[in-house]
Structure 1
Amino acid sequence: MNLPNHFELLATDGAARTGRLTTPHGVVHTPAFMPVGTAGAMKGMHWREVRDAGADIVLGNTYHLMLRPGAERIAALGGLQAFTGWNGPMLTDSGGFQVMSLSDLRKVSEKAVTFRSHIDGAKVELSPERSIEVQRLLGADIAMQMDECVRLPAGRDDIERAMRLSLRWAERSKRAFETAPDGYMLFGIVQGGDIPEMRHVSARELVEIGFHGYAIGGLAVGEPQAVMLSMIEETAPALPVDRPRYLMGVGTPEDLMEAVARGIDMFDCVLPTRNGRHGMAFTRFGQINLRNARHADDPRPLDEESEWPSARNISRAYLHHLVRSGETLGAMLLSEINVAYYQHLMRGMREAIAGGTFETFQKQTRAGWARGDIAPR
């Protein structure tokens, strides 16, 4: 390991961990959930609400930001934090996943991925070196190596080819990151699909290259939850105990709790805001679909004991009305309620791990979800 470590492991409870990651823009308490501000904005939320909800760190997307408004423009305007007004820790992904998922016309070579912009059709080349350059221009506290992610199920040959290419790109990404200022971090990404031995090879070789932290990629891309959890169990023990572990693109509250129980420290997912825009609320009683007609006359809030004012003070009837009327306010309120619940869940896990009561916390949380949305009085 030849890179400085900015992560402090504070406590463990079984495989679950809680720690502190220090970045140039502040401290991240783990386990941490990163709300996704894809194009430099959190859909339906102001940054102050994201901060007030308890988020230490957010995610920006290299692919979208390099296409619009452009990395060089953002750098000239002071970097992503100054440009957006977030002014806190920020992680950027490499852009590779969006190239694979959004661009119909793309070509993968040893050198780079060439694709057509989904905005204007312009031809763009994204190499590991350019990905790191863009992320450095954006000023992300944590950058990700360029990798190739294949959707599951996939053939063994395709999984191995992408994993090997990602390892070669990891080496190039690290070399490109060498001039970054002290305190900024680069994470490697373990690939290997749903094949344990591929995951082991990828993890081992990434650790030999040496990164500030390690992500598990290529999951939550079509496989059942049991497969995802199995791959975490295969991969996490192969990663350094003293480095942060990041499960990319995950997931539901149940996914988060299961992954934390297996040693994962960081997460990101669009579910809180995406589901909020579609009338779904995440609560300690599980998911509640505010589109359902049974909420039309329900004066109760979503959770009268919630710390978040919108969940505690606004009636289900009003939320139902907003959602069914297509009012933007409905999506905004449910997005902030969902992000706040995710942060509440993460804080609860951190406190339980620190207190040695994580198993009890899991049981109590699941009991709340199983209780479900109780009928109006």
Structure 2
Amino acid sequence: MLTTDHGEVQTPVFMPVGTAATVKALDGEDIRTTKAEIVLANTYHLFLRPGEKTVSEMGGVQKFMNWNGPMLTDSGGFQVFSLGLGAKGETLSKIDEDGVTFKSHLDGQVHRFTPEKSMDIQRDLGADIIMAFDECTPDKIEKKYVREALDRTHRWAERCLKRWEENGKKSAQGADQALFGIIQGSTDRDMREEAAKFISSMPFGGVALGGETIGYNMEATQEVIGWVKHLLPKDKPIYTMGLGRDPQNIVDIIKCGIDMFDCVAPTRLARNGALYHGELLGENFESEFSNGRLNISNAQFIKDKSLIMEGCDCFTCQSGYTRGYLNHLYKSKELTYYRLASIHNVRFMVRLVEQMRGKMRKNSRNQELGNSR
């Protein structure tokens, strides 16, 4: 259980992503109906538009988006990676010891992020949990650079802690802020273990696993967790960043002992016609559809009077919207489709975590009863 000034968060927990202070197509009440307990927002995007000072003057990110629950903001490190070494076209960022200089993807204007700047932006945004500024290294890069980036990330972590303490560990709105550190090291076992020891030794409120591999490649993600799990603190939440594309990913990562995870996939897939379908049976997720995704654009659904999924407790299914109607909305590019589909997918993932949490509690109780006999 995580306790914040905006409420409690049960773990494990899936965090819907509200990049620009909005979970795409959903308003605050829609998010509440999904029973999401915490939402993630993006420092880089909110810095560029509308600006962290504007968000602060509007009362912080929660009031700004009419969501009164807990929130987490990332540091902007991953976006910098995407503009630089992770870019598929023109490189828009340059990293040095002090920070990162980058061009806005919106208008080409040049900006500068340092660890201190990231902390100050996140202070103004006002989330309950903020992330240390790190350098996200790609998987396919020479070991020499991974070493340089890791050492830099660790120096930046120390600077983030110092600035967070200077800011009183509070947001500009006066709420407590917890700072999480991030373990990097690409796909190098020795460096991942080194990073786990270093970050775990520092007074962070939680520890995250970052990098291109995490969430993108589940097999490699589980391997990295296996390398460092014994080095992670037992009394702090562990967070895998950018993980939760497929329902089975959620099941697998919870089995690994991870407490927190986020992903844009539920809403992104919904917008592209993929609706989650399936259920938790025993220790595994089962679905008649590949990867647990029903493709609503398929011709077989044109006259289908069924709900997306029988027994689903999301607003969309409980309100009686049929596959046939959603097929029509999707093909017509009607805006209502994006809302109804996104509500279903987000609630699906939140409910799956609830079910896994319930199984964990039941197993724990059974174990306690067994030990007491």
TM-score of the alignment, normalized to the shorter chain, above 0.5: yes
Matched with 2:113 is 126
- 2:46 is equivalent to residue 59 of structure 1: no
Matched with 2:353 is 346
In 2, the alpha carbon distance for the partners of 1:100 and 1:146 equals 12
The Cα offsets for residues 268-302 of structure 1, whole Å up to 9 and x where unpaired, read as 10001000100110122321010111111211111
Contact (CA 8 Å) 2:20, 2:46: kept in 1 or not? yes
- 2:237 is equivalent to residue 237 of structure 1: no
Q: Which residue, 96, 117, 138 being the options, matches 1:109?
A: 96
The Cα offsets for residues 59-93 of structure 1, whole Å up to 9 and x where unpaired, read as 01000001111111111221111111111100000
Q: Which residue, 120, 139, 142 being the options, matches 1:155?
A: 142
Give the superposition deviation at 1:220: 4.0
Alignment of 1:45-194 (within 5 A): 45-102=26-83, 104-178=91-165, 179-181=168-170, 183-194=176-187
Contact (CA 8 Å) 1:279, 1:330: kept in 2 or not? no
Matched with 1:296 is 302
Q: Secondary structure at the match of 1:22?
A: strand
- 2:11 is equivalent to residue 30 of structure 1: yes
- Alpha carbon RMSD of aligned pairs, Å? 1.6
The Cα offsets for residues 25-62 of structure 1, whole Å up to 9 and x where unpaired, read as 10001110110100111111111111121111000100
In 1, the alpha carbon distance for the partners of 2:328 and 2:243 equals 30
In 1, the alpha carbon distance for the partners of 2:129 and 2:219 equals 29
Distance 1:113 1:261, change over 3 A: same
Q: Which residue, 269, 273, 283 being the options, matches 1:279?
A: 273
Give the superposition deviation at 1:221: 6.2
Q: Secondary structure at the match of 1:214?
A: strand
Contact (CA 8 Å) 2:83, 2:102: kept in 1 or not? no
The letter for the 2-side match of 1:147 is: D
Give the 4+ runs in structure 1 shifted more than 3 A.
219-224
Give the superposition deviation at 1:158: 2.1
TM-score by length of 2: 0.88
In 1, the alpha carbon distance for the partners of 2:303 and 2:58 equals 49
Contact (CA 8 Å) 1:153, 1:223: kept in 2 or not? no
Contact (CA 8 Å) 1:152, 1:222: kept in 2 or not? no
Matched with 2:261 is 267
Q: Which moved more, 1:306-315 or 1:333-342?
A: 306-315
Q: Secondary structure at the match of 2:242?
A: coil
Matched with 2:241 is 248
Q: Which moved more, 1:314-323 or 1:241-250?
A: 314-323
In 2, the alpha carbon distance for the partners of 1:296 and 1:219 equals 39
Give the superposition deviation at 1:357: 7.9
Contact (CA 8 Å) 2:273, 2:330: kept in 1 or not? yes
- 2:196 is equivalent to residue 196 of structure 1: no
The Cα offsets for residues 227-284 of structure 1, whole Å up to 9 and x where unpaired, read as 1110011122211001000000002221121111111000110001000100110122
In 2, the alpha carbon distance for the partners of 1:282 and 1:169 equals 39
In 2, the alpha carbon distance for the partners of 1:246 and 1:117 equals 28
Give the superposition deviation at 1:222: 8.7
Q: How many residues align?
A: 339
Q: Percent identity?
A: 41
The letter for the 2-side match of 1:283 is: H
In 1, the alpha carbon distance for the partners of 2:363 and 2:234 equals 18
Distance 1:311 1:237, change over 3 A: farther
Alignment of 1:365-376 (within 5 A): none
